[in-house]
């Protein structure tokens, strides 16, 4: 008979049910075997049941093949990692500890899949974030060039180094950095796109900032330093003082006038400068160069005095005058009024231009204020010195019209001699509202000297006085009582304007004296006979009447009233007529 199994033996044994070992019966293991199995399960539970994918743990290389590394992580089975993930570590050997991450707990063949590359990347991101938050310096390997910058390996992560962040100076040759290990600062991280940006420039700027603070702390006004020309602008030059920049304003480059700083300095030139001023933080430093030299006024000859003649070059030109450099750094002003004896002021550019060499006389000299004024006209004779000999009252001359005013015309007889013709002295007969109606600037005009005031340097001229006053003959021709044919050129409420054969003579006919024999009144453009009832040579006024011609009684009254020098009620001017005359005069002056 065959041997009984354990279960059968236990079953056949005469044992009380409550003492029967059901665990041994169900598992097929005795108590010792069951305890050993339980201990193993506890070990697996502590080391593997808590193991999750994406966890990074430390494993040990236990075997190497041609393509794989077998790594023990205290799991029920060993993990496999491709040797491609250890390219950076060509010396990998059995026994080395490596960081790994569970990629898959078991593949289809039941093999544990590990990844060293993913573990390194995950750890690298943690480190990169730590360095970004702390601002610590990180070492990186420049792998290659890319558009706009470089690719840098930082802890196994490919970070971007923009071209603008390589150095404080612009970089033209990027290839010189490829293959080098450099220090960087992590300046930006984008977790969403897994992007890292690093900067080498930030470290340089930090060093420079430290140097700047050290230099700035030692700066004092009046301190003389050596610097390098960094940048030239139209308003000044920036000087590098060794990490700190200062500005030399264009006016502090030289005692002489400078049109552009490039006339004095060039890029990269090493110069000595003096600190003139700086703000409280010493971030804006004002420098000077000319202050290192003696002021030109201190070297100006002590013998120079008012009245002396000097020579110089025109360096600045303005409408009001010209600045002339009479010695290096010493300029004098020639005001436009001191360039010519003419009282007709013009622009200084009409007399000189920049670069001209001129001779002038010292008019004023103030060494304390360092100001000097000069004159050119003083080197020639004042035309007013013998004015009475050249331009006596009554003498006739030809002058040039220079400019107008509302009341007259200025005529230049020669350089420095101008005279005024009042508007009333332009014509005997023309009613002129503005001199421009009579002549133009630049016209030649015959004149006669009417008055001369040497002390006030004033000359009064006349033009109409060169011809006979036509009103002298009009006084006889248009005597009171004479009758003339005239045309009503304008008719208005109070009367009419009447033009005689002499175009220069215009008469006024009161409205009540325009009545014709048939009772109607003379209209505009109508020609008729008119009798002169008033003639005033002084005011160039002529009053006429048409009605009086056909009224015998009025004629007789006019004849009787004339010897007695009395006025007829109808023929003589009334107050209303005078008002009308005033209106006529106004209309005539307005050219109506």
pLDDT tens for 525-536 read 888 889 988 888
The pLDDT, as a whole number, for residue 237 is 94
Higher-scoring residue by pLDDT: 231, 585:
231
Cα dihedral 46/52/55/61 (nearest 10):
60
> pLDDT tens across 170-180, in order?
888 888 899 89
Q: What does the pLDDT read at residue 324?
A: 93
**Contact yes or no for 507/498 (Cβ under 8 A):** yes
Q: Tell me: pLDDT of 106 over 70.
A: no
3-state helix, strand, coil in the chain (%, to 5): 25, 35, 40
Tokens found for residue 518:
């048939």
Calculated CA dihedral for residues 562, 568, 571, 575, nearest 10 degrees: 120
Q: How far apart are CA 446 and CA 428, in angstroms?
A: 15
| CB-neighbour burial class of residue 508 (10 A; exposed 0-12, middle 13-18, buried 19+) | buried
Q: Which of 66-80, 282-296, 487-501, 552-566 has the lowest mean pLDDT?
A: 552-566
Residue 429 has pLDDT above 70, yes or no: yes
DSSP H helices, 297-382, are: none
- Which residue intervals of 218-320 are DSSP H helices? none
When mean pLDDT is compared across 5-9, 155-159, 253-257, 362-366, the lowest value belongs to: 5-9
| 480 contacts: CB under 8 Å, gap ≥ 6 | 532, 533, 534, 535, 562
Taking 60 as the threshold, does the pLDDT of residue 44 lie above it?
Answer: no
Residues 397/398/402/403 CA torsion (nearest 10 deg): 70
Identify the three-state secondary structure at position 563. coil
Residue 66 has what pLDDT?
84
For residue 481, which phi and psi values (nearest 5 degrees)? 100, -15
Cβ-count burial of 292 within 10 angstroms (0-12 exposed, 13-18 middle, 19+ buried)? exposed
Task: Please state, in angstroms and rounded to a whole number, the distance separating the CA atoms of residues 270 and 228.
Answer: 4
Highest mean pLDDT: which of 84-98, 109-123, 127-141?
A: 127-141
What's the half-sphere exposure (Cβ side, CA atoms, 13 Å) at 432?
A: 22
What is the reported pLDDT for 54?
A: 62
* Six token digits for residue 511: 């409205």
Q: How far apart are CA 422 and CA 435, in angstroms?
A: 9
> CB–CB of 471/537 below 8 Å?
yes
Query: Burial letters for 136-155: b for 16+ Cβ neighbours within 10 Å, e otherwise?
Result: eebebebeeeeeebbbbbbb
Find where tokens 């006339």 sit: 263
Q: Which residues of 35-62 are buried (b: 16+ CB within 10 A; e: fewer)?
A: eeeeeeeeeeeeeeeeeeeeebbebebe
Task: Answer left, alpha or beta for residue 568, where phi above 0 means left and psi between -120 and 50 means alpha.
Answer: beta
What tens digit of pLDDT does each residue of 47-89 get? Answer: 444 555 566 788 888 888 888 888 888 777 778 887 877 777 6
Least confident of 19-28, 219-228, 443-452: 19-28
- Name the average pLDDT for the chain: 80
Whether 322 and 364 have beta carbons less than 8 Å apart is answered as no
Domains of the chain: 6-46 (no CATH), 56-116 (2.40.50.140), 135-205 (2.40.50.140), 220-292 (2.40.50.140), 296-379 (2.40.50.140), 387-466 (2.40.50.140), 471-589 (2.40.50.140)
Q: E strands along 257-370, which residues?
A: 270-278, 285-288, 309-318, 321-327, 330-335, 357-366
Closest CA to 156 of 186, 127, 191, 113: 127
**Mean pLDDT comparison of 29-33, 68-72, 372-376, 561-565, highest-scoring range:** 372-376
Distance, in Å, from the CA atom of 451 to the CA atom of 395, rounded to the nearest integer, reads: 10
Paired tokens of 306? 């008012």
DSSP 3-state of 133: helix
373 to each of 18, 305, 317, 359, 362, how far by Cα in Å? 136, 11, 15, 13, 6
List of residues 6+ apart from 33 with CB closer than 8 A: none
Block residue for tokens 């040797």: 83
| Cβ 230 vs Cβ 240: under 8 Å | yes
Mean pLDDT of 582-587: 60
Residue 543: the pLDDT is 92
Residue 301 or 409, more confident? 409
Mean pLDDT to the nearest integer, 250-255: 90
- Per-residue pLDDT, averaged over 135-151, amounts to 89
Helix count (H) and strand count (E) of the chain? 10, 30
Please say if the pLDDT value at position 333 is more than 90: yes
Asked if residue 568 has pLDDT above 50, the reply is no
> What number of other Cβ atoms are within 10 A of residue 205's Cβ?
15
Furthest CA-CA distance within the chain: 200
C-alpha pair distances (Å), 287 with each of 118, 266, 332, 362, 491: 58, 16, 27, 34, 83
Residue 121: pLDDT over 80 = no
pLDDT of residue 170: 80
Q: Going by C-beta distance under 8 Å and a sequence separation of 6 or more, which residues neighbour residue 500?
A: 478, 484, 485, 486, 506, 507
Rounded Cα distance, 262 and 236, in Å: 9
**Mean of the pLDDT values across residues 367-372?**
89
Q: What are the residues whose beta carbons fall under 8 Å from the beta carbon of 513, sequence distance 6 or more? A: 495, 533, 544, 545, 546, 547, 548, 570
pLDDT given at position 556: 62
What is the band of 565 on the pLDDT scale with cuts at 50, 70, 90?
very low
CA distances from 274 to 228, 248, 268, 300 (A): 13, 9, 18, 24
- The residues with which 532 forms a beta bridge, in sequence order, are 544
Quickly count: other Cβ atoms within 10 Å of residue 272's Cβ: 11
The residue-averaged pLDDT of 493-506 equals 83
Query: In the prediction, which pLDDT does 537 show?
Result: 77
- Give the C-alpha separation, 486 to 150, whole Å: 106
Strands (DSSP E) contained in 472-560 are 483-492, 495-499, 506-510, 527-536, 541-545
Token pair listed for 56:
């990074």
Whole-angstrom distance, CA of residue 295 vs CA of residue 406 = 52
pLDDT value of residue 408: 92
């Amino acid at each position: 008979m065959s041997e009984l199994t354990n279960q059968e033996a236990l079953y056949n044994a005469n044992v009380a049910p409550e003492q029967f070992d059901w665990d041994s019966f169900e598992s097929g293991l005795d108590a010792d075997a069951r305890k050993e199995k339980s201990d193993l399960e506890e070990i697996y539970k502590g080391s593997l049941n808590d193991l999750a994918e994406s966890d990074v743990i430390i494993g040990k290389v236990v075997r190497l093949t041609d393509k794989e590394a077998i790594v023990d992580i205290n799991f029920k089975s060993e993990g496999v990692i491709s040797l491609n993930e250890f390219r950076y570590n060509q010396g990998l050997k059995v026994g080395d500890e490596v960081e790994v991450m569970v990629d898959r707990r078991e593949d289809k063949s039941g093999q544990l899949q590990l990844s060293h590359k993913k573990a390194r990347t995950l750890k690298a991101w943690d480190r990169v974030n730590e360095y970004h938050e702390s601002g610590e310096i990180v070492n990186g390997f420049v792998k290659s060039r890319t558009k706009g910058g470089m690719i840098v390996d930082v802890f196994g992560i490919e970070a971007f180094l923009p071209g603008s962040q390589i150095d404080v100076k612009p970089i033209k040759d990027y290839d010189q950095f490829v293959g080098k290990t450099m220090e960087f600062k992590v300046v930006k991280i984008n977790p969403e796109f897994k992007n890292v940006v690093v900067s080498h420039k930030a470290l340089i700027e930090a060093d420079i900032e430290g140097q700047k603070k050290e230099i700035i702390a030692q700066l004092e006004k009046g301190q003389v330093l050596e610097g390098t020309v960094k940048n030239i602008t139209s308003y000044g030059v920036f000087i590098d003082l060794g990490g700190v920049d200062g500005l030399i304003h264009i006016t502090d480059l030289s005692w002489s006038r400078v049109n552009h700083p490039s006339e004095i300095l060039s890029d990269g030139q090493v110069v000595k400068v003096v600190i003139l001023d700086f703000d409280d933080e010493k971030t804006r430093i004002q420098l000077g160069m000319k202050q290192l030299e003696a002021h030109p006024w201190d070297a100006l000859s002590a013998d120079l005095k008012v009245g002396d003649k000097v020579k110089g070059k025109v360096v600045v030109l303005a409408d009001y005058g010209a600045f002339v450099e009479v010695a290096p750094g010493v300029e004098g002003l020639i005001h436009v009024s001191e360039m010519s004896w003419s009282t007709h002021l013009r622009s200084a550019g009409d007399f000189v231009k920049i670069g001209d060499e001129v001779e002038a006389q010292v008019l004023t000299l103030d060494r304390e204020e360092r100001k000097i004024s000069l004159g050119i006209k003083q080197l020639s004779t004042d035309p007013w010195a013998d004015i009475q000999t050249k331009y006596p009252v009554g003498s006739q001359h030809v002058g040039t019209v220079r400019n107008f005013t509302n009341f007259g015309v200025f005529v230049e007889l020669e350089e420095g001699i101008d005279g005024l013709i009042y508007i009333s002295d332009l014509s005997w007969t023309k009613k002129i509202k503005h001199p421009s109606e009579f002549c133009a600037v630049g016209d030649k005009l015959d004149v006669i000297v009417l008055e001369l005031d040497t002390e006030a340097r004033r000359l009064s001229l006349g033009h109409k006085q060169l011809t006979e006053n036509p009103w002298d003959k009009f006084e006889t021709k248009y005597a009171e009582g004479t009758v003339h044919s005239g045309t009503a050129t304008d008719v208005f409420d109070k009367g009419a304007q009447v033009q005689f054969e002499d175009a220069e003579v215009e008469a006024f006919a009161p409205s009540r004296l325009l009545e014709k024999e048939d009772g109607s009144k003379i209209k505009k453009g109508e020609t008729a006979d008119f009798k002169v009832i008033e003639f005033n040579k002084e005011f160039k006024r002529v009053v006429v009447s048409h009605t009086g011609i056909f009224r015998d009684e009025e004629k007789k009254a006019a004849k009787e009233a004339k010897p007695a020098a009395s006025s007829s009620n109808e023929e003589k001017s009334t107050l209303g007529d005078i008002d009308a005359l005033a209106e006529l005069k106004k209309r005539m002056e307005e050219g109506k």
